[in-house]
Amino acid sequence: MISNEHRLAGKVAFVTGGSRGIGESIVKRLASEGAAVAFTYASSSLKAEQLASEINENGGKALALHADSQDVTAMNKAIAQAVAAFGRIQILVNNAGVFDAKPYDQFTIEEFDRMVAVNIKAVFAAVQAVAPAMGEGDRIITIGSVNGDATGFPGMSLYAMSKAAVAGLTRGLARDLGPHGVTVNNIQPGPVDTDMNPADGPDAGSMRSLMALGRHGTTMEIAGLVAYLASSEAAYITGASIDINGGFMI
């Protein structure tokens, strides 16, 4: 059995939106398993730098890079900085995303464009920037959402659309990159306890009523699945959209 402590030793990971919530836990988990981790943040520079410092001070390797995911030029610059610092990127985790829910006729076209830019275009652009240098055993992992398959509530049209698109993109990329030995997978979390969706929030009870386990997930549970898919143990999984949702709407 491979020890989790060194499962990703020698690997370089790039995580978008890695300074808080699910992204922060992903950065910590990959670093704890031996990967050097570069991650982006759009705001809260102090929190991002503190996270990188914590990892570095504890013997890991981490680099915080400021880049808004909807700005393709800024993201390409951040990727280049990560390569310059750590070498070839072997694990790409597309975690950054935006969420908005309201009746379809209340969305503006500008809000539609932002949802597409962050949740879909940024994923594709990151893959275009990183994948050409990837090879056998490298990994691309995107954080989608259970809402790509099931909404549960009204007002989810644009968000559900964006996450369903990510699932389709994953399948297509898996075909394109499979001959190069690169796996491409999509993780679909259900409600997860974060600042944006707290387990004690006003809508938490309604969400729990739709889940078999009756609770929110934790960010570390999502990070654990990311680490598994990034490892050699998951070499035969590609093109998959994997639910981790507490039995949401089953």
Which residues are the active-site residues? 159
Judge contact between 36 and 83, C-beta under 8 A: no
Q: Smallest Cα–Cα separation from 182: which of 169, 191, 193, 173?
A: 173
Helical H segments across the chain, by residue range: 21-32, 45-57, 72-86, 109-116, 122-130, 157-177, 204-208, 219-230
Count H helices and E strands in the chain, helices first.
Answer: 8, 7
**199 φ/ψ angles, rounded to the nearest 5 degrees:** -65, -15
Sign of CA dihedral 14, 192, 224, 50: positive
User: Which residue type does 84 have?
Assistant: A
CA distance 145 to 159: 9
- Extract the tokens encoding 209: 């009523």
Q: How far apart are CA 10 and CA 87, in angstroms?
A: 10
Angle at which helices 21-32 and 219-230 cross, to 10°: 50
Task: Tell me phi and psi for residue 12, to 5 degrees.
Answer: -120, 125
Residue 88 sits at the vertex; the CA angle it makes with 31 and 123, to the nearest 5 degrees, is: 80
